Structure 1
Amino acid sequence: MSNFVVDQLGFVRRQTVDYVRSISDADAEIIPAGLKNNIIWNLGHMYVVFEKFAFQLTGEETNDPANFSKLFSPGTKPSDWDIEPPTKSQIINLLTEQMERVESVLSSNLKEEINPHYKSSTGNTYSTVEQLLGFLIYHEAMHFATIKNIKSIINNS
């Protein structure tokens, strides 16, 4: 079943994954001067937040690889890492599988109410699966833009 929100979420995820595939592993680990995070962190962060909004908050089974929350939750940064992060390729595989789970698990439950409703740190309240996925479109696009910005800084260094 096709749905605009799921389609748009898939679109921005594909754009991100296709873009980062061409970035070298070395470049994906560079933290440009003045920034806190690198491309790897942004990809892992997208995965962690997506798991929370698409699966945890909807009552579905999550797939949180070991140490992902420690590495990629809001407020974390590579300079604090004391464990080896996953590779760009590993995260890309997880991001691809994650969208497949949305399509198979959530696409038929979009209008379902979530309980309890979720109030974000910015004061927005989400009450349905579709609303949570709608937020993820914004979140994914914001981090895609950040990734492109980081790559542009690296290219111009």
Structure 2
Amino acid sequence: MSSLVISQINIAYKGFMNEIKDVSDEQLTKQPEGFNNNILWHIGHVLTTNEQFLFGFPDNTDHLPKQYKDLFGYGTKPAEWPDDVPTADELADKLNKQIKRIKQIPLEKFEEKLPEVTLGAQTFGELAALAAFHIANHAGRVNAMKKVLNK
């Protein structure tokens, strides 16, 4: 089961990275009508949420600046961003490093019970499966945004 979850995360990650490649700077920061965020936010959100689900961000990992939670966490929006937001290239680089760390998680970790049920997940593996779903969900949102922006 645990190697299947890693495979699902990897497939979703590749799909997400495929969606964000070749997006123009204008497309990255434009918020199309009917959408709550822009593509740059989705990139940062996937990165930040993966780090929260799989590595205990912001308390148990130092791979991301703590401010990422305020920029890209659930309920945040680009309209409230300060002027110093990371670039898409910076975020994509961190995503590439993150997927390497995800692949290094020991398989037995996926069987561990969580201290408390989190988003319906009772084990780390279930939470990792949720992360795979979350990545794919945001890949779909980026795909839809690109279609609207390209009209």
**Structure-to-structure mapping, 1:31-42, within 5 angstroms:** 31-42=31-42
Per the TM alignment, residue 119 of structure 1 is displaced from its structure 2 partner at its CA by 3.0
Name the TM-score, length of structure 1 as normaliser. 0.86
Which position in structure 2 is the counterpart of 1:118?
Answer: 117
Q: What is the root-mean-square deviation in Å for CA atoms of aligned residues? A: 1.9
Residue identity opposite 2:140 in structure 1 = A
Match of 1:147 in 2: 142
Size of the aligned set, in residue pairs, is 149
Which residue pairs with 1:132 in the alignment? Answer: 127
Alpha-carbon shift at residue 60 of structure 1 (Å): 5.6
Quote the Cα distance in structure 1 between the aligned partners of 2:67 and 2:16: 23
Secondary structure in structure 2 of the residue aligned to 1:105: coil
Deviations 1:47-103 (A, max 9, x none): 11111111118x963522242111001111001112321111111111111111111
Contact residue 56 and residue 62 of structure 1 kept, 8 A: no
- Which amino acid in structure 1 is aligned with residue 138 of structure 2? H
Query: What is the distance in 2 between the residues matched to 1:51 and 1:62?
Result: 10
Any idea what SS the aligned residue of 2:111 has?
Answer: coil
Structure 2 portions without partners, runs of 5+ = none
Q: Secondary structure of the residue that 2:116 maps to in structure 1? A: strand
Sequence identity (%) = 26
4+ residue segments displaced more than 4 Å: none
